Amino acid sequence: MKTIGIGGAGSKIAVKLDSQCAAINISEIELSKIPTSGAKIQASLHDGSGVFQGARMDPAIGLEAYGSVSRQLTNLIRGAMVISATGGGTGNGITAGILRDLTGRQEQIPVEEKTIFALVLPYGKMEPDEFVSNTSAFLNGPLAEAIDSGNTGNIFMFSNRVKFEKQLPEDKYNQMMVNSLKEFFSIPEKNAQLKLLEEHIDQADFALFLSKPYFNHFTAFNFNPENDFGKQLATHWNPLLLEPEQPIEALFLLEVPTGNDGTCFYSILKHFNDQGVKPLYSVVENPALKGPRVNVSLLYSRKPAEEVQSFNRESEEHAQTKVRRTIDQYVELEPLQVNLDSEADKVKSNGEDDIIKMLKRINKL
């Protein structure tokens, strides 16, 4: 599968996943930092700006720049995975342009040409409000419209929550996302290389699963057949992704060590059957393992509008906390008598410096 990184954040992840990925950016400087052997595509603005500053966290600039590369990307994204962050300007804006073009396509897109998206969402409690606002508009606009059109493939909703809560370096967190993607994408390869015990998931089955326009939550963990699968799954959600809703479809690969007959897969089947889901699955023998390991993928259709509500709720709670903290610091407020004429004279005599200082102070609160 081809990999395309959009913006600085998306390209850094993409090149870790695929050394031959295509990287797209407005900033020539940021584009030069991506060590890919694949295509480097610079999107440009009509007035020639952005070469050094990029989109400056403004999705409108990214969307405008998309126009300069839209024809090239229309062909490039076919059957590819697009990776981008939604909080800034370049990733958000250019990806929005791609999604809107997909939404407008009237013809049915073949399975092998569907585009899947790996989106990295900001953590509302610890990242700028502007990132959350940009993401909310993206989820409720171009992403929602594209999903409704049925013209996208799976969408992976990564979150920066773990990165900020555990205070991880960006490079390490990017590698964690890449490692989780690699294990998920290894499913058809393991089916081809390892001894099959039950059923089979080949590349065509996997591609069809990926082509469906739903959110995809995938996870992998060591499975204990003596314990309830559902409870184990609930405690092993992929912490890098948003938690899933009730699944519409599911897929799992169960790997068992040599000598294990693999019949513990029946308990996994029962779990999904009880939920009214008939999963695509396979069981393979992996001599490198000491115990069973399961790789699970759940497709769900939670609407982006609900994701927006989650972001807005987190952001509002964070804002209220800041307000309460500020109020607690200044509990007793004395009445302040202001003579507007005298204050205006002060401003005139002091020049712009005091105004700038006050604006900066307000901005910090």
Can you give the residue ranges of every domain in the chain? 2-182, 187-300, 330-364
Q: Is the pLDDT of residue 141 over 80?
A: yes
CA atoms within 13 A on the CB side of 139: 28
Q: How confident is the model at residue 347 (pLDDT cuts 50, 70, 90)?
A: very low
Q: What is the pLDDT of residue 309?
A: 58
Task: Say whether 182 sits in a helix, a strand or coil.
Answer: helix
3-state secondary structure 101-137: HHHHCCCCCCHHHCCEEEEEECCCCCCCHHHHHHHHH
In sign, the C-alpha dihedral spanning 44, 50, 56, 61 is: negative
Cα–Cα distance between 181 and 218 in angstroms, integer? 9
Q: Inform me whether the pLDDT recorded for 235 exceeds 60.
A: yes
pTM of the full structure: 0.82
pLDDT of the residue at 365:
29
Query: What's the pLDDT tens digit per position in 285-323?
Result: 999 999 999 999 999 986 555 555 555 565 556 555 544
Rounded mean pLDDT, 90-96: 96
DSSP annotation of 139 reads: I
Looking at the predicted structure, is the pLDDT value of residue 170 above 90?
yes
Residues 6+ apart with CB under 8 A from 235: none
What is the dotted CATH code of the domain comprising 2-182? Answer: 3.40.50.1440
Q: How confident is residue 45, by pLDDT bands cut at 50, 70 and 90?
A: confident
- Mean of per-residue pLDDT scores for the chain: 86
pLDDT in tens, 63-84: 999 999 999 999 999 999 999 9
| pLDDT-derived band at 124, boundaries 50, 70, 90 | confident
Residues belonging to the chain: 365
Q: What is the reported pLDDT for 357?
A: 37
pLDDT grade for 272, boundaries at 50, 70 and 90: very high
1-21 pLDDT, tens digit each: 999 999 999 999 999 999 999
Pick the CATH number of 187-300 from 1.20.120, 3.30.1330, 1.50.10, 3.40.1350: 3.30.1330
Helix (H/G/I), strand (E/B), else coil: 292: coil
What pLDDT shows up at residue 244?
A: 92
CA count, 13 A, side-chain hemisphere, 129: 12
CA Rg value for the chain: 24
Lowest average pLDDT, out of 47-56, 81-90, 131-140, 149-158, goes to 47-56
